[in-house]
Amino acid sequence: MQVISINPDRLLTDIRTLGAIGRDEGGRLTRLAATDADRRGRDTFVQWSRAAGLDVRIDSVGNIFAIWAGRNGLDRNPLLIGSHIDTVIDAGVLDGCYGVLAGLEVIRTLRERIAEPARPVIVAAFTNEEGVRFAPDMMGSAVFAGALSAGEALAATGTDGAVLGEELARIGYAGTETPGFFRPEAYLELHIEQGPVLEREAAEIGVVEDLQGISWQRIVITGEANHAGTTPMSMRRDAGHAAARVIGFLHDLARAASPPLVATVGCLGLSPGAINVVPGKATLTVDMRSPDARRLGEGEAALATFLGDLAEAGRFAISTTRLARTEPVRFDARLAKIVEESARDLGLSSRRMTSGAGHDAQMLSAIAPSVMIFVPSIGGISHNPREDTREQDLVSGANVLLRTAERLLQNGVQTSGPEKPPSLP
């Protein structure tokens, strides 16, 4: 068996170049969806894709598809590789970008090494995976997979009051393709782990079998603003204290949970926000996740009960808005096995694992056999500028993606169970 490699310098240079786009004066990287910084990142990816000889198409929610048509164009269902290039606030350079740029590098390498394949190979950069500016997250892939309508996505209002559809038009990425304009034969997503497991266990590759369900809510607690000096403690309706109790409740709930549950309050705003005023209003977000669907539902129910009791005891008005909700996902077992075998072909150690983060793959898995490949994150740090992965691991992950794609193109996308004979490529 002849094992081929991607061009490490080309991939690492691309990662660094894209990672320099969207930095502020202090050097912080923030490329929120459909901002000017996102446009510059998108333009760069499109330019590289065209330079690689790919046909670039954009759908109405701004998803970008760089297409190597192969011998039959879209008459054959493509092999799709993808991820995202939008970022969180003060981000690292790898989250999402690694998967998109490695996908492009895999296509460049295949074009140099093998004959035109029978089916197209496409690399996608999905719109607004992070969900920081517009909720829900995984928005572009959700529309592509039919889980969310394009109209709903385009009408989403951002944390800054902007409307996604208007912003996409403004930055030149309101495309003309209908979302879902092709059906992938299979979907592959390479990503950094963003957690500590691979590093701790000294495994080079993570074969991702499943991904936890995610629940996002916004909670608004209304009490009464009042004088911080004159209002007796027993007479306050302090929305700030109520928010603190919610944070404490969620922390304890998740710490004690089995099967596991994680819970985070990532945004907290107190109003009117003055040192000498008892807060009259608190707004907070809740991100709750579990690989166990029942546990996640129980967590949501426990929070609802707690909020009801809190409202009654403290004379608060409490409202909740659901921002995003996905069930846990199991990836395709046949594809997981092919990834594992591909790692073995390259002499790399691997382990099966669950994804703690949300990914476009969880949306794509509803319409196509899908799998994810992880590489170790140094110190398990992500959504942080210190997010990093050893260059050697970045190259190994891209080579596992390459080998997996090569196998699928050579042998057919054999995904529907061990008993099914291989289909023709």
Query: Which distant-in-sequence residues (6+ apart) come within 8 Å of 110 by Cβ?
Result: 68, 117, 121, 402, 405, 406, 409
- For residue 254, the minimal CB distance to ligand GLV (Å) is 16
Choose which of 86, 105, 130, 332 interacts with ligand GLV (CB under 6 A): 130
Nearest to 100 by CA among 359, 417, 411: 359
Looking at beta carbons only, is 129 or 185 nearer to Mn ion? 129
Q: Which does 358 bind (CB under 5 to 8 A by kind): ligand GLV, Mn ion, none?
A: ligand GLV
Q: Does residue 211 interact with ligand GLV by CB under 6 A? A: no
| Rama region for 351: left / alpha / beta (φ>0; ψ in -120 to 50; rest) | beta
Looking at beta carbons only, is 58 or 139 nearer to ligand GLV? 139
Q: Are 281 and 223 in contact (CB under 8 A)?
A: yes
Q: Does residue 401 interact with ligand GLV by CB under 6 A? A: no
Element (H, E) at 310: helix 293-314
Q: Does residue 96 interact with Mn ion by CB under 5 A? A: yes
Cβ–Cβ contacts within 10 Å for residue 341, how many? 16
Choose which of 171, 357, 394, 413 interacts with ligand GLV (CB under 6 A): 357
Q: Does residue 137 interact with ligand GLV by CB under 6 A? A: yes
Element (H, E) at 296: helix 293-314
Element (H, E) at 13: helix 8-19
Residues in the interface with Mn ion (CB under 5 A) total 2
Q: Does residue 140 interact with Mn ion by CB under 5 A? A: no
- For residue 67, the minimal CB distance to ligand GLV (Å) is 26
Q: Are 143 and 150 in contact (CB under 8 A)?
A: yes
Q: Are 49 and 68 in contact (CB under 8 A)?
A: no
Choose which of 95, 185, 204, 387 interacts with Mn ion (CB under 5 A): 95
Looking at beta carbons only, is 130 or 167 nearer to ligand GLV? 130
- For residue 88, the minimal CB distance to Mn ion (Å) is 6
Q: Tokens for 66?
A: 């760089």
Q: Does residue 99 interact with ligand GLV by CB under 6 A? A: no
Can you give the binding site for ligand GLV, defined by CB under 6 A? 130, 137, 357-358
User: Interface with Mn ion by CB under 5 A: which residues?
Assistant: 95-96
